[in-house]
Amino acid sequence: MRLYMTPGSCSTGIHILLEEIDNPFEAAIVNLPAGDQFKPAYVAINPKSTIPTLLRDDGTALTEFQAIAYWLARTNLRARLMPGDPNGDALVMEVMDYVVGTIHMQGFARIFTTSSFIPDPSAPEPSAPDPLAHDAVQARGREIAAKGLGLMDRVLEGKDYVAGAFSIADAALFYVEFWADKTGIDLPPNCRAHYHRMRARPAVHRVLREEGYR
C-alpha cells in the first residue's frame, strides 16, 4: 500500500495506525504549501485534493480519515483497533467524527488556514458580510479547539484510551493533541495524560521520528 501524507498533519494519525498493524506500506509525501495536492498526478488519485489518501493493494484509493481508519481496523482484526461491540464501536466513531469534523475542521483549520475563513472583499459577490480580521478568526479557532479538547477530556475520564484500550479514535485524538501542544493550546489533564501515553507507544515514537520530530 501507499500512504499519501504530509508530516505533522492529520495523516500522521493514519501513519500511526499503519505502524500499529505492522503491515508494509510506502509513504509518499504531499507538499501542501507547494500545491502538490492540485497537480494532475495526485488529482488523478484523489480528485478531492485532500490528505490522507491510501492507495490499496488492489489499486483503489481510499480517502477521508474516518474511512481509512475504519477500513484498516476492519481488515486487520488481530490488531484490535476497534472494541468489537456495538457500544464501544459507536463511541469510537463518535469521537473520531467529532475530532475530525469539529476540533480539526472548525478549530485548527481556522488557525492553520486562516485566510480561507475570511471572505475576499474584492469578490463581486462576497460569500459573507464584512470580512473578519485575521486575529479574530484565529482566536475563534483556538476557542473551538480548546472547547473540543475539554469535551474529549470528559470522554477520557478514568480511562487510558477513548474506549478503554487503544483504538482508531486515539490516533485521531492524538493528532489534534499534537497540534495543541505545538500551538500553545493547553491540554486539559486527561488529554495531556493521553497525549503522553500515546507518545510512549513504540509505533507513535517511530512515526514522529520518521516525520522529523524529536
Question: Do 65 and 10 lie in a common domain?
Answer: yes
DSSP state of 101: I
Rounded to whole angstroms, how far apart are CA atoms 151 and 213? 28
Rounded to whole angstroms, how far apart are CA atoms 204 and 20? 8
Q: Does 206 fall in a domain?
A: no
Is the model's pLDDT at 130 over the cut of 70?
A: no
Question: Do 20 and 68 lie in a common domain?
Answer: yes
Is the model's pLDDT at 106 over the cut of 50?
A: yes
Is the model's pLDDT at 123 over the cut of 80?
A: no
Q: Does 47 fall in a domain?
A: yes
Question: Do 100 and 11 lie in a common domain?
Answer: no
Is the model's pLDDT at 136 over the cut of 80?
A: yes
pLDDT, the chain, mean: 93
Question: Do 105 and 192 lie in a common domain?
Answer: yes
The letter for the amino acid at 185 is I
Q: Does 44 fall in a domain?
A: yes
Helix (H, G, I), strand (E, B) or coil at 98: helix
Rounded to whole angstroms, how far apart are CA atoms 126 and 103? 26
For position 124, what pLDDT does the model report?
Answer: 53
pTM of the model: 0.92
For position 214, what pLDDT does the model report?
Answer: 74
Q: Could you give the percent of the chain with pLDDT greater than 70?
A: 94
**Which residue among 79, 98, 127 closes a domain?**
79
Question: Do 179 and 98 lie in a common domain?
Answer: yes
**CB of 84 within 8 A of CB of 78?**
no
**Which residue among 43, 62, 79 closes a domain?**
79
**Which residue among 79, 114, 148 closes a domain?**
79
Q: CA 12, 179, 140 angle in degrees (round to 5)?
A: 130
Q: Does 214 fall in a domain?
A: no
Q: Could you give the percent of the chain with pLDDT greater than 90?
A: 88
- Domain that residue 7 falls in: 2-79
Q: Does 208 fall in a domain?
A: no
Farthest CA pair distance, the chain: 56
Question: Do 68 and 154 lie in a common domain?
Answer: no
For position 129, what pLDDT does the model report?
Answer: 46
For position 176, what pLDDT does the model report?
Answer: 98
Is the model's pLDDT at 10 over the cut of 70?
A: yes
Per residue in 31-89, pLDDT (tens digit) is 999 999 999 999 999 999 999 999 999 999 999 999 999 999 999 999 999 999 999 99
Question: Do 29 and 100 lie in a common domain?
Answer: no
For position 122, what pLDDT does the model report?
Answer: 59
